[in-house]
């Protein structure tokens, strides 16, 4: 077979021209080339020292920020706990007052049985003995459960109060010092060791001091044996020296920083010494800084207490106003209830009487002529007899009064006539019904006359004439 692939040579003119090297420059590294330059070395050391100091400052700043955040968080938690305690006390007081007021309102305006007619055992609508016993047992169970709940709430409140008092941050015996920085350990010279005045300390040789250092590291109560240079009685010197050696090895190691490179060898040969600073009042209080933080905003507490008192006063006023309104409403309901009971009684009594009357009418015999019962017939006859007697009595009284009036008028006429005859006087007529005074008579006068059927006016006129005659 013949191959189909063919080989085509590349175009040689497209290749890049070869660049040949004409030379090379090689310089060997000189060992410790900068060892002779002390200025560069000291500059590098100073740079490293500055970097370390900057790093220490950053670490201090971070620690301080973390400490401040922790303190602020702790203060916020403390304020939250105090606010929670105040809220709990206010809620407890409100619950106590509401409970007392509810008992008083229940006693003054009871809601269980508002009907006044159910006080008797045999009244209509009263509860049965079984129901009363069941309600009594149920009420006792409710009172017991309520008292158990109250005891549980009081127990939890006492426990929470004890926990809050045990976590108190501010110490009552705290006395702030006058040193710069205060209890927060912050001052303008804190980050400048060159201008800060440090506390002078006692320098103690670790190799030559045994008992003093041991007594400083271990309290006397925790030491298993007396810390003195002389061995105790009953123990040999070798074992005592071995124990001292073990105690020296167990001491904390001391870390030191040598900034000067030239004095490294001389410092390595020097005796190890330890500086024990004397702690002042501020240093002692630093360990208790978290527990001795004073409250810096007393005005807020006073304002909160004032607002709390105003809220409680408003709550009491609203509560007692509600109780008074409930009492007024209860009195109105009782009045309406009594009115409804009176109306119901009246209607029931009328219905009862009508029912009794119908039953009695159905049961009693009736007269076939008049259709009345014996009682109705007797009542009708009795009423007729009484009315007749009253009319007869009134008629007799009228006749008697008329006779008395006639006799009185006749006596006046006689007396007047005698006086006129004695004095020879003539009187005019009293009205137009007659010629003279003697013709006037209430029974014969015209109906438009003033004396018509009016003997009282006629007697009064005669009496006035008689009085006039006496004057003359």
Structure confidence by residue, pLDDT tens digits, 202-219: 444 444 444 444 444 444
Mean pLDDT value of segment 81-96: 80
Q: How, if at all, do strands 201-205 and 273-277 pair? A: antiparallel
Look at residue 169 in the predicted model and tell me its pLDDT.
52
C-alpha to C-alpha distance for 213 and 209, rounded to whole angstroms: 6
Instruction: Report how far residue 155's alpha carbon sits from residue 161's, in angstroms, rounded to the nearest whole number.
Output: 10
**At 58, is the pLDDT very low, low, confident or very high (cuts 50, 70, 90)?**
very high
Residue 345 has a CB neighbour count (10 Å cut-off) of: 11
pLDDT at 423: 84
Read off the pLDDT of each residue in 170-183 and give the average, rounded to a whole number.
Answer: 48
Average of per-residue pLDDT across 446-455: 89
Q: Is 225 within 8 Å of 232 (Cβ atoms)?
A: yes
- 31 pLDDT band (50/70/90 cuts)? low
Cα torsion at 125, 131, 136, 139 (round to 10°)? -90
Lowest model confidence (mean pLDDT) among 225-229, 265-269, 295-299, 348-352: 225-229
Identify the three-state secondary structure at position 221.
coil
End-to-end Cα separation, the chain, in angstroms: 200
**Residue 105 neighbours by CB distance under 10 Å:** 20
DSSP code of 366?
B
Phi, psi at residue 168, to the nearest 5°?
-65, 135
- Supply the pLDDT for residue 158: 81
**pLDDT band (50, 70, 90) for residue 16:** low
Q: Of 40-44, 86-90, 354-358, 450-454, which range is least confident?
A: 86-90
Residues 307-322 pLDDT 10s: 878 888 888 888 888 8
Express as a percent the part of the chain with pLDDT over 90: 18
Query: Which residue would you say has higher pLDDT here, 30 or 78?
Result: 78
Q: Residue 287's pLDDT is what?
A: 44
Q: What are phi and psi of 292, to 5 degrees?
A: -115, 40
pLDDT of residue 231: 53
Interatomic CA distance for residues 439 and 416, integer angstroms: 14
**28-32, 148-152, 273-277, 436-440, range with the lowest pLDDT:** 273-277
Using CA of residue 15, residue 20, residue 21, residue 22, what is the dihedral sign?
negative
The confidence score (pLDDT) of residue 84 equals 83
- Pick the residue with more confidence: 213 or 241? 241
Percent of the chain with pLDDT over 70: 57
CB 300 within 8 A of CB 75: no
Question: What distance in Å separates the CA atoms of residue 472 and residue 451, rounded to the nearest whole number?
Answer: 26
* Residue with the larger pLDDT of the pair 347 and 183: 347
What pLDDT does 28 receive?
Answer: 63
- Higher-pLDDT residue of 53 and 244 is 53
pLDDT band (50, 70, 90) for residue 391: very high
Closest CA to 161 of 219, 69, 233, 92: 92
| The pLDDT value given to residue 271 | 41
Helix (H, G, I), strand (E, B) or coil at 373: strand
Tell me the average pLDDT across 325-351: 93
Question: Across residues 13-25, what is the average pLDDT?
Answer: 67
Q: Which of 285-294, 427-436, 451-460 has the lowest mean pLDDT?
A: 285-294
pLDDT at 463 over 80: yes
What residues have CB less than 8 Å from 291, skipping those under 6 apart? Answer: 169, 170, 171
- pLDDT of 38 above 90: no
CA distance 242 to 248: 10
> Which pLDDT score is estimated for 426?
81
Instruction: Please name the helix (run of DSSP H) or strand (run of DSSP E) that holds residue 274, with its range, or none.
Output: strand 273-277
- How far apart are alpha carbons 277 and 281 in whole angstroms? 13
Higher per-residue pLDDT: 102 or 277: 102
Cα angle, residue 36 at apex, residues 33 and 39 outer, rounded to 5°: 110
pLDDT at 29 over 70: no
The 10 Å CB-count burial string (b at 16+, else e) for 56-73 is: eeeeeeeeeeeeeeeeee
Q: Over the chain, what is the mean pLDDT? A: 71
pLDDT number for residue 344: 95
Q: Is the pLDDT of residue 40 over 80?
A: yes
The answer to whether the beta carbons of residues 420 and 427 sit under 8 Å apart is yes
d(CA 446, CA 431): 10
| 147 vs 340: which has the higher pLDDT | 340
Q: When comparing pLDDT for 469 and 17, which is higher?
A: 469
Q: pLDDT value at position 350? A: 95
Residue 123: which residues within 8 A CB-CB, separation 6 or more?
A: 117
Confirm if 421 and 410 have CB atoms less than 8 A apart.
Answer: no
The rounded Cα 10 to chain-centroid distance in angstroms is: 102
Helices then strands, each counted (H, E), the chain = 9, 2
Give 389's Cβ-side CA count (13 Å radius): 6
- Interatomic CA distance for residues 152 and 305, integer angstroms: 27
């Amino acid at each position: 077979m013949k191959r189909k692939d063919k080989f085509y040579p590349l175009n040689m003119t497209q290749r890049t021209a070869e660049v040949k090297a004409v030379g090379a420059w090689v310089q060997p590294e000189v060992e410790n080339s900068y060892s002779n330059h002390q200025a560069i070395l000291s500059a590098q050391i100073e740079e490293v020292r500055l970097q370390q100091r900057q790093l220490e400052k950053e670490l201090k700043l971070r620690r301080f920020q973390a400490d401040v955040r922790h303190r602020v968080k702790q203060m916020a938690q403390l304020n939250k706990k105090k606010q929670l305690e105040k809220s709990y006390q206010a809620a407890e007081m409100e619950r106590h007052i509401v409970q007392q007021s509810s008992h008083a309102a229940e006693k003054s305006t009871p809601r269980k049985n508002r009907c006044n007619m159910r006080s008797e055992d045999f009244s209509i609508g009263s509860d049965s003995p079984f129901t009363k016993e069941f309600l009594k047992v149920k009420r006792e169970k409710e009172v017991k459960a309520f008292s158990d709940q109250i005891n549980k709430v009081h127990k939890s409140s006492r426990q929470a109060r004890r926990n809050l008092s045990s976590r108190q941050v501010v110490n009552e015996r705290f006395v702030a010092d006058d040193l710069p920085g205060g209890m927060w350990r912050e001052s303008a010279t804190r980050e400048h060791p060159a201008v800060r005045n440090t506390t002078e300390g006692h320098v103690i040789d670790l190799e030559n001091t045994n008992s003093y250092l041991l007594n400083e590291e271990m309290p006397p109560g925790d030491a298993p044996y007396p810390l003195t240079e002389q061995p105790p009685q009953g123990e040999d010197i070798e074992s005592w020296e071995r124990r001292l050696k073990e105690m020296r090895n167990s001491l904390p190691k001391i870390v030191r920083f040598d900034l000067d490179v030239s004095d490294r060898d001389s410092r390595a040969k020097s005796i190890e010494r330890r500086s024990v600073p004397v702690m002042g009042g501020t240093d002692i209080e630093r360990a208790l800084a978290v527990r001795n933080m004073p409250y810096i905003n007393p005005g807020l507490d006073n304002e909160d207490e004032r607002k709390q008192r105003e809220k409680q006063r408003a709550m009491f006023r609203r509560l007692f106003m509600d109780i008074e309104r409930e009492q007024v409403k209860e009195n109105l309901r009782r009045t309406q209830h009594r009115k409804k009971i009176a109306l119901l009684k009246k209607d029931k009594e009328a219905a009862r009487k009508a029912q009794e009357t119908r039953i009695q009418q159905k049961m009693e015999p009736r007269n076939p002529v008049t259709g009345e019962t014996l009682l109705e017939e007797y009542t009708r006859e009795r009423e007729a007899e009484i009315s007749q007697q009253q009319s007869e009595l009134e008629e007799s009284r009228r006749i008697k009064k008329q006779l008395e009036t006639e006799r009185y008028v006749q006596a006046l006429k006689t007396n007047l006539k005698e006086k006129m005859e004695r004095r020879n006087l003539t009187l005019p007529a009293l009205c137009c019904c007659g010629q003279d005074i003697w013709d006037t008579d209430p029974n014969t006068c015209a109906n438009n006359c003033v004396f018509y059927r009016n003997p009282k006016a006629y007697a009064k006129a005669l009496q006035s004439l008689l009085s006039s005659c006496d004057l003359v």
